[in-house]
């Protein structure tokens, strides 16, 4: 997986590219997604179809991917505690 661009534009657009054999769902690897910041990731995931379980890509950030109407959506909790990172 390759990530670039987030800090390079005033809009915070992040470009993600995956190698063909990357261990992620095809929907995440092949279709652009949107991301939303949530206050409580665990609560936001209740009842959702989870594509990628909660994980912490960097300190203080917890993310998960869900499927909504055939598209992937990233949910991000920013500023979470170490305990929340272990969701």
DSSP string, 26-81: HHHHHS--EEEE-S-HHHHHTT-EEEEEEEEEETTEEEEEEEETTEEEEEEEES--
The CATH fold assigned to 2-85 is: 2,3-Dihydroxybiphenyl 1,2-Dioxygenase; domain 1 (3.10.180)
Q: What is the pLDDT of residues 15-42, one digit of tens each?
A: 888 898 999 999 999 998 999 999 999 9
Q: Which pTM value belongs to this model?
A: 0.83
pLDDT bin (cut points 50, 70, 90) of residue 69 is very high
């Amino acid at each position: 997986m390759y990530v670039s661009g987030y800090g390079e534009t005033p809009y915070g657009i992040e470009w993600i590219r995956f190698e063909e054999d990357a261990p992620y769902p095809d929907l995440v690897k092949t279709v652009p997604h949107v991301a939303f910041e949530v206050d409580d990731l665990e609560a936001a995931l209740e009842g959702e179809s989870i594509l990628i379980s909660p994980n912490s890509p960097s300190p203080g950030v917890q993310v998960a991917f869900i499927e909504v109407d055939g598209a992937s959506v990233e949910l991000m909790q920013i500023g979470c505690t170490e305990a929340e990172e272990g969701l």
